[in-house]
Chain A
Amino acid sequence: MSEESIKKFMFVNRKAPYGTIYALEALEVVLITAAFDQDVSLAFLDDGVYQLKKGQQTKGIETKNFSPTYRALEGYDIEKLYVEKESMEARGLLEEDLLVDVTVLSREEMGRLMEEQDVLLSF
């Protein structure tokens, strides 16, 4: 694929897992995008940061626990995961509560990063 056809794709995740299907189906798109050799990044804002909480146990709600998939993203060369600092703090979460390594950004930095993208997808 030529340089020109590589676009910057950002997946903006603002919804919590399990309550609705959006987080899971967003992750399915992320995995497919990896096969297209695009420049992919994931942003977690608002309730989206809950997707990355360690220790999810879904047996009791009889739903598939898809959180290990975030750890597998590295294997698909998706390594740019950004978490908005203010959203994390507002939910009483620290970086060590998250199941993957992320880059923590302030709101303003997140805004600038969004502006640099070619395609933003939000579900």
Chain B
Amino acid sequence: MLHIINKSPHSDNALESCLGVANSGDILLIEDAVYAATKGNAYEGKIREAVGKLKIYALLPDIEARGLAERVIDGVSTVGYDGFVDLAIANRNCQSWL
């Protein structure tokens, strides 16, 4: 399944909660959640750890808007809105961790 997260991990536990629950599948970071996908942030380790069992994506327009295009963690794939649509199709269901 596709897990969609839109909150910064520094202000909300959505990412942490999702990583605890998700056994497999894809995670897409959008809006303020893209901060989790950047090098040097306190959650970098958690993201790197998760990359083995889950596939992690981050929405590029949201990363670029926040001035972080140069800092995406290796192992996180960036996608556009078209890629977001593809992920929603490739997975049979999706959960937005609001």
Contact = CB atoms under 8 A, between A and B. Distances in A.
**Same assembly:** yes
Chain A interface residue count: which class? 20 to 34
B23 interface: yes
B93 A117 contact: yes
B23 to A, nearest CB: 5
Given A14-B98, A123-B98, A107 B21 contact: yes
A22 B23 CA distance: 27
Contacts of B17: 14, 45-46, 87
Contacts of A15: 98
B80 interface: no
Interface in B69-98: 92-98
Nearest to B13: A46
A84 B51 CA distance: 24
Nearest to A119: B93
A115 B23 contact: yes
B20 interface: yes
A115 B14 CA distance: 17
Contact of B23 (A45, A84, A111, A123): A111
A119 B93 CA distance: 6
Nearest to A8: B93
Contacts of B68: none
B22 interface: yes
B33 to A, nearest CB: 14
Contacts of B21: 45, 84, 107-108, 110-111, 114
A115 B24 CA distance: 9
B94 A107 contact: no
Interface of B: 1, 13-14, 17, 20-25, 92-98
10 contacts: A14-B17, A22-B98, A45-B17, A87-B17, A108-B23, A112-B23, A114-B1, A115-B1, A115-B24, A117-B93
